[in-house]
Amino acid sequence: MSEVTGGSVTIKQAANLIGESLKAGHHHMEAGYPTVNPLNERSGLLVEAYRNEHGEAWLGKINLYENDRGKPVMWQWDGSPVSAFVAVFVAPRYDAELVQMVTERDAAPYTGTRDDSVLVDRIFERLDAIGARSLIWN
């Protein structure tokens, strides 16, 4: 990737670059991506960093839409460029418990934001527990 030279990017470096993008307002749609907005590339750097540091990187989704059903909730990154919005998190390993939580949330009847937020909070707690990070796209 273009921003880090002289070796592999680390998770900390990639996270810092994403933080710089957020401070600069690159997450706003009018921020000029792709010509002047590096946010998506920096999220891709984070995925690369996970593989550099953990030997593999797993991508995944939290919200499943009609076209996501029947597809894996988590999949191993194959090294190809990660398109914006394809995944919302990167993890160092596959986690069956996380997949079950996302799948159960998707199957649960929606009764409002109060109940759903409990499920979402649990998912994010699990993401934290396994060392995953959110991917931020524009």
pLDDT of 82-102, one tens digit each? 888 899 999 999 999 999 999
Is 6 within a domain?
no
Name the domain count of the chain.
Answer: 1
- Which token pair is 96? 């069956």
Q: Decide if 57 is inside a domain.
A: yes
Question: Domain containing 95: what range?
Answer: 11-134
At residue 11 the predicted structure's pLDDT band, cuts being 50, 70 and 90, is: very high
pTM summary value? 0.85
Would residue 5 count as lying in a domain? no
Pairwise CA distance, residues 35 & 37, whole Å: 6
Q: Is residue 81 a part of any domain in this protein? A: yes
